[in-house]
A and B are shown apart, each in its own frame.
Chain A
């Protein structure tokens, strides 16, 4: 998964000076990860495209003042995550007047979830776990997480950022990152166990072998 981590081989000097060729290289290198993240946070291709464009427009404008304290990738992820969360906030305020902050976990996510599904489904063949239907279910499962938990999970487990990098992107402490990651993972584990557990049970009964 770290194959996606890019070596930072950009000339900060050229980027700060507004060199277009260098900026195009940066766009080429990071647009894929930024788009993937945006798509999973906002769950809509048009909104994700807007987030992608806004991210690089803002980055280009801000580059002359980029101080290099965080890495370029962390910095880009931060702009993109803020854009994506802002999109969700706008969408929410456009639909209903809702005062719940999207940056905080919802109240029922506040406590550590106790495992309810204790089913061993790890024996299922990978082809079954990675079927189109299973993938669609997994996507839906992510969507049930609050934006606060979802962004931490995506940055840590999909984008492969470290706890420290994720904390920098979201401007929260490392303890908060770990707590949210734990809640997100435990919640997803619960949902996947529900889904795959049923399939594992079907497999182990003789009737299930024919279906």
Chain B
């Protein structure tokens, strides 16, 4: 599970470099997110723009990560691809997360 993180003042941007978060990778995703979010920050933004597919195990793992961060540290999502957005919408999890269409311009890296 290839995740990388960049800290921008109080915002930790975590980029998922895998094209799916599914039942074969959900546990690794959750563990890797736990490690990577040990870097202190007020907010965490998960960039899912490389993730073409997420199943209910992957969704459960994203929810688990939000709970792991606790009530005072927000998990925001960015760059949901169409099928991933559909899973969030159908399960109404889109009402729970702050979802950004794309990463804010100043946080996007060239390449």
A binds B: no
Interface residues of A (CB under 8 A from B): none
